[in-house]
């Protein structure tokens, strides 16, 4: 006779079993049972035991996994493992001990973040994520760095455009759940030191994680980071990547660029390059892709005075959105979206006309155009300053 299934001493009815089975499978799929354990990380046995005995969220997750797994075995569900015997070696892989790999410490990737997370966890070394505001770019990046720091002993950086911005957004930042950003990803139980003035954490095992700014990139040259997050890359100093990339090339490190567009600047060039380069990850996610911000919220922003250009940039990740206040920005954006900005070859059969803006204390500019039916084809442009009309006459003859 089969023994009845029990949970916390209560005999389960068939309805209880079905409900528990559904909950078990759903929560297992979400990784909730081990969300307080680090992804693929190895910690000293003493630390593991301290978490199990004294860290309440970790202990609760461990006990819950064991209890539900025990009940599940009574009706042929795949069992959660009993508490493993800890090896006598110097360390124990926590996620493996819990029976599954998973994200760290009370965090899990949202559905729209899963593709990038999988790429990074699979060993990807170059990624560009152009995501809309509030899509969780920094959250994913910091939690991935926490995992990476446990897998490989090295230095890791989270770089904002400026050091001051890094302190405000990351080092002193608070997430949507009221938690300090760094405490969520790097709980005190895995830290051995904290230097507030340098925004640096020392971690068990020997790795360090630090918040830095691209405004001081020249002072960072000479260090040896194995992983760098370039946050708000479209606003950062692009020279930072050129100085740091040889370090990552030599030590086989990784780089993650996360940002929202800011016009056709180096951020757009980076995304275009990554999209066309094998081995690079490139992804652009708008609010239509993630569903993270409902349409009615965006409409509220528009009614309250948010410029359309800013909405297209911040929520729909448009590289073409004109900068707010630009004189001809909307006209140029419309021309590009309508396919009116493209390469046009010079037609020898047509006359070339010029339009001049004569400069006295500033530059003189010249547009070269050809008229073809109803089209005005702008085929060339030239400007200079500090020269006489004879210089421009020579330019016309050359063209």
Distance CA 13, CA 23 (A): 15
Per-residue confidence (pLDDT) for residue 22, from 0 to 100 = 66
* Each residue's pLDDT tens digit, 32-63: 544 444 443 444 555 556 666 666 666 666 56
User: Three-state SS for 375?
Assistant: strand
Q: Of 38, 46, 52, 37, which is closest to residue 150 (Cα–Cα)?
A: 38
User: Three-state SS for 342?
Assistant: coil
Per-residue confidence (pLDDT) for residue 323, from 0 to 100 = 62
Per-residue confidence (pLDDT) for residue 360, from 0 to 100 = 79
Per-residue confidence (pLDDT) for residue 35, from 0 to 100 = 42
Per-residue confidence (pLDDT) for residue 101, from 0 to 100 = 44
Cα angle value 134/261/168 (rounded, 5°): 50
* pLDDT less than 50: residues of the chain: 1-2, 6, 8, 33-43, 71-102
Cβ–Cβ < 8 Å for 38, 203:
no
Q: Which two tokens stand for residue 336?
A: 């590009």
DSSP 373: T
Q: Give residue for tokens 């396919």.
A: 339
Distance CA 275, CA 297 (A): 31
Per-residue confidence (pLDDT) for residue 345, from 0 to 100 = 86
Cβ–Cβ < 8 Å for 298, 305:
no
Distance CA 14, CA 2 (A): 14
DSSP 127: E
Q: Which two tokens stand for residue 349?
A: 């059969």
Chain mean position to CA 373: 48
- Residue 212, classified by CB atoms within 10 Å of its CB into exposed (0-12), middle (13-18) or buried (19+), is buried
The total of other beta-carbon atoms located within 10 Å of residue 199's CB is 20
Per-residue confidence (pLDDT) for residue 337, from 0 to 100 = 72
Cβ–Cβ < 8 Å for 167, 182:
no
Distance CA 80, CA 186 (A): 27
């Amino acid at each position: 006779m089969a023994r009845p299934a029990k949970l916390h001493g209560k005999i389960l009815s068939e309805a209880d079993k079905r409900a528990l089975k559904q909950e078990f499978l759903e929560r297992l799929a979400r990784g909730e049972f081990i969300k307080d354990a680090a992804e693929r990380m190895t910690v000293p046995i003493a630390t593991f035991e301290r978490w199990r005995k004294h860290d309440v969220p970790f202990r609760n997750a461990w006990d819950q996994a064991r209890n539900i797994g025990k009940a599940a075995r009574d009706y042929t569900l795949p069992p959660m493992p009993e508490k493993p015997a800890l090896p006598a070696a110097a360390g124990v892989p926590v996620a493996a001990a819990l029976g599954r790999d998973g994200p760290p410490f009370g965090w899990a990737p949202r559905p729209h973040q899963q593709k990038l997370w999988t790429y990074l966890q699979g060993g990807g070394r170059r990624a560009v994520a152009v995501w809309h505001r509030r899509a969780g770019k920094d959250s994913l990046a910091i939690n991935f760095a926490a995992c990476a720091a446990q897998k490989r002993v090295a230095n890791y950086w989270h770089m904002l455009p400026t050091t001051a911005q890094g302190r405000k957004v990351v080092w002193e930042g608070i997430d949507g759940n009221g938690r300090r950003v760094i405490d969520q990803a790097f709980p005190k139980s895995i830290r051995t030191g904290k230097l507030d003035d340098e925004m640096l954490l020392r971690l068990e095992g020997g790795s360090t994680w630090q918040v830095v700014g691209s405004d001081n990139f020249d002072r960072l040259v000479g260090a040896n980071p194995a992983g760098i997050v370039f946050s708000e890359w479209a606003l950062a100093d692009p020279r930072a990547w050129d100085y740091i990339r040889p370090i990552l090339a030599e030590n086989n490190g990784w780089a993650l660029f996360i940002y929202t567009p800011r016009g056709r600047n180096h951020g757009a060039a980076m995304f275009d390059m990554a999209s066309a380069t094998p081995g690079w990850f490139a992804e652009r996610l708008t609010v239509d892709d993630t569903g993270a911000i409902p349409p009615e919220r965006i409409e509220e922003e528009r009614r309250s005075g948010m410029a359309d250009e800013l909405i297209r940039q911040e929520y729909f990740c448009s590289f073409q959105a004109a900068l707010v206040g630009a004189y001809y920005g909307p006209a140029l954006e419309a021309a590009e979206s309508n396919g009116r900005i493209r390469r046009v070859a010079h037609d020898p059969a047509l006359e070339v006309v010029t339009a001049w803006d004569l400069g006295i204390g500033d530059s003189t500019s010249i547009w070269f155009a050809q008229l073809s039916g109803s089209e005005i084809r702008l085929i060339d442009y030239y400007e200079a300053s500090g020269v006489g009309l004879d210089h421009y006459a020579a330019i016309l003859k050359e063209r």
